[in-house]
Chains A and B, each alone.
Chain A
Amino acid sequence: MLAGASGALSLPVLTSCTAETASADSVLTGKRWGMVIDLTRCREGCTACMDACRQENNVAFHGDARWDVHWIRRASLKPKDEDSGLSEKSVLLMCNHCDNPPCAQVCPVQATYKREDGIVVVDHHRCIGCRYCMIACPYNARFFNFKENEDWPNQDYPKRSHGVVEACNFCAHLLDQGLRPACVEACQNAGAGALVFGDLNDRTSEVSQLVAGGFVKRIREDWGTKPKVYYIGL
């Protein structure tokens, strides 16, 4: 029991080195951002969220699967057991903004860290491009800028030069303005409404209610990363 208690105490220590504490004037305190992805509403062949994210955040696209960066992406799930009767389905993969982020645990310069509002963010001024966070992320959600990004669709937001790692940051700059992340907005506008975003600390928010409803699931909860992206229909 003592071992268990010390284990429970030590994990916060191991991950607390990676959490940034905000001051009183900051916009970060109090919230715990999370997302629910309803795969039953995600339409076949629709790429609205991916395109909107790429537009909004200047995510690099080179047309080459080796180096393209994806903050949110579609993948297709095929049942391994062909006789199971299950059919193929789509899934959206993105940074899960874990509460125990392995990426933040291993960043040697603390460029990747978890903000107080729960968003796992990369400080691109500090990233040295070692790619250890990419190795550590068990969800393969992080991408490296292998090549300079020639396009700059959204000049009000910085792009990343080659040599740094990036991943979805829940459009933190939009959240600061009281807007929703680009993917959520785009999915709403496309009429599907598969992405629901909100404050998990607020019990009245739609995400909290969906999570409390009990029909949500996270990817590989047994890894102990405590992701904050939940799925319906997985």
Chain B
Amino acid sequence: MAMDVSFSKIEGRSLPYYLTVAVLAGFAVAGFIATLVMHAHGLYLSGMTNRVPWGLQISMAIFYIGLSAGSLVVSGLYGVFGKMEYKPFARIAAYLAMLFLIAGLLSIFTDQGRIDRVFTKPFTYVNATSMFSINPALYSGHIMICVLYLWALFKEKGTLTKITSLVVVLWAIGTHTGTGAIFAFVPRELYNSSLLPPSFVAAALSSGAALMILVIVSLFRATGRHLDHDLIIWMGRRLLSIFLLVTLYVLLIENAHRVYLAADHEAGMFFLFGGSHSFLFWVGLITIGCVIPAILLFIRRTGTSVPWTVFASVLVVLGVLCERFLIVIPGLIHPPELFPGWEVADVVFREGVVSYSISYLEILQTLGVIGVIGFMFVVGLKIMPLAPNEARVLPAR
């Protein structure tokens, strides 16, 4: 069944379009300046401290990396599973995945203490046992494969598309496991968990699929091209809902395990009930991010409606953003149990539970990264034929 899908550049001449481009460019410049200021004067301008050395930038970096997984799954629907009705989205998905990986790398790069060294030293001196050495290699390789995949899609090379699509999905699983491993392979109480990489992958798939739904619906609405609602409904009800259930499952087991074992009980209870991050967990991740969207998608009335699916997708993206914070921050604000049976009290350094607050410069840096990839996306749509002319369940006659 030959699928006659055509792609074309978007017009990109309307006022909303130019405004979007301008705003994104403004964000990018603001982020660049914020990064320069932070690195001229020192990272004390961020909210990070010697107890919380990783903050917003790293949380956003893993968020972006996670988003790339979901995009690739959507493009994999066509490339790997041969679902022809998803061919229209394949190019956007591959391009977005590449952009999210760039965003992840950019977030990490701008967070280093000595950016001037980060351009040369990690490439000259590699540590095979370090996840921070392995992961940039995985991310860069991933970007290369995405480029190859996009090229195969543009040139309509059937076999190459199939092969690269499979490779890119497998590589994505590797990348995301590696990203989870940055935290899981470290002897810190709330990080050290074998379930962290799988939970990272599950949340990545959920957030990526949700964001693809949002991007596709907005794009088709903005350009006025035809989009068959059933395609979105299927992505919501049959794809996203499954990812949400898997995410919930892994989260349940991870937390139950910690709370059950006497050794980890205190840390597990701290994570679930011990601070403002617990609010992020129960309200942000579980309720808003998983349970409500899952219910909305499973109930027939809301699950078969595009506006409700879009709403559920927004909730999922927000929930997974909370989850990325919950991976990074609670493990740092909770003190290590150095002396079991004893509580370490401050004398010159904050030994107990601390807190982390975001500074304005960090927010600007984050906006900067969003600006850069947002700009690359909307301008890419205009200069390359990424967007399909229409997306139908059945081939156009």
A selection of 16 A-B contacts at a CB cut-off of 8 Å is A70-B348, A75-B344, A80-B342, A106-B132, A108-B127, A109-B125, A109-B133, A126-B117, A127-B114, A130-B132, A136-B186, A145-B42, A145-B113, A220-B337, A220-B338, A234-B339
Return B140 CB to nearest CB of chain A, in Å.
14
Cβ of A18 < 8 Å from any Cβ of B?
yes
Cβ of A164 < 8 Å from any Cβ of B?
yes
Cβ of A233 < 8 Å from any Cβ of B?
no
Decide: A134 and B132 in contact? CB cutoff 8 A.
no
From B122, B332, B336, give the contact of A109 (CB < 8 A): B122
Decide: A76 and B187 in contact? CB cutoff 8 A.
no
**B125 — which chain A residues lie within 8 A by C-beta?**
109-111, 126
Return A216 CB to nearest CB of chain B, in Å.
15
**A70 — which chain B residues lie within 8 A by C-beta?**
348-349
Cβ of B9 < 8 Å from any Cβ of A?
no
Decide: B343 and A74 in contact? CB cutoff 8 A.
no
**B42 — which chain A residues lie within 8 A by C-beta?**
145-148, 162-163
Complex Cα distance A164/B118, Å? 12
**B188 — which chain A residues lie within 8 A by C-beta?**
135-136, 138
**A134 — which chain B residues lie within 8 A by C-beta?**
50, 53
Return A131 CB to nearest CB of chain B, in Å.
4
Return A193 CB to nearest CB of chain B, in Å.
21
- Chain B residue at minimum C-beta to C-beta distance from A72: B348
Cβ of A78 < 8 Å from any Cβ of B?
yes
Return A227 CB to nearest CB of chain B, in Å.
11
Decide: B344 and A106 in contact? CB cutoff 8 A.
no
From B53, B127, B336, B347, give the contact of A74 (CB < 8 A): B347
Decide: A106 and B186 in contact? CB cutoff 8 A.
yes
Stretch binding the partner chain, chosen from A1-9, A61-69, A175-183, A203-211: A61-69
Complex Cα distance A1/B41, Å? 55
Instruction: Give the residues from 187 to 234 in chain A that come closer than 8 angstroms, CB to CB, to chain B.
Output: 219-220, 223, 225, 234
Complex Cα distance A17/B130, Å? 10
A131-B54 CB under 8 A given contacts A91-B339, A144-B113? yes
Complex Cα distance A130/B111, Å? 7
- Chain A residue at minimum C-beta to C-beta distance from B340: A220
- Chain B residue at minimum C-beta to C-beta distance from A149: B42
Return A8 CB to nearest CB of chain B, in Å.
17
Decide: B348 and A73 in contact? CB cutoff 8 A.
yes
Complex Cα distance A93/B347, Å? 11
Query: With contacts A102-B186, A108-B132, A127-B114 known, what are 18 further pairs, Cβ within 8 A?
Result: A50-B348, A66-B44, A67-B50, A68-B348, A77-B342, A78-B343, A79-B341, A106-B186, A108-B126, A108-B127, A109-B121, A109-B126, A111-B125, A129-B113, A135-B53, A135-B54, A144-B53, A162-B41
Give the B interface residue count (CB, 8 A): 54
Cβ of B106 < 8 Å from any Cβ of A?
no
Cβ of B257 < 8 Å from any Cβ of A?
no
Return A58 CB to nearest CB of chain B, in Å.
16
Cβ of A165 < 8 Å from any Cβ of B?
yes
Binding site for A on B (CB under 8 A): 39, 41-44, 48-51, 53-54, 108, 111-114, 117-118, 121-122, 124-133, 136, 182-183, 186-188, 191, 332, 335-339, 341-351
Complex Cα distance A134/B186, Å? 10
**B113 — which chain A residues lie within 8 A by C-beta?**
127-131, 144-145, 162-165
From B41, B51, B112, B118, give the contact of A140 (CB < 8 A): B51
**B43 — which chain A residues lie within 8 A by C-beta?**
129, 144, 146, 162-163
Return B366 CB to nearest CB of chain A, in Å.
18
Across the A-B interface, give the 3 residue pairs with the lowest CB-CB distance, nearest first. Answer: A129-B113, A163-B113, A108-B132
A128-B121 CB under 8 A given contacts A77-B342, A164-B113? yes
**A55 — which chain B residues lie within 8 A by C-beta?**
none
**A147 — which chain B residues lie within 8 A by C-beta?**
41-42, 44
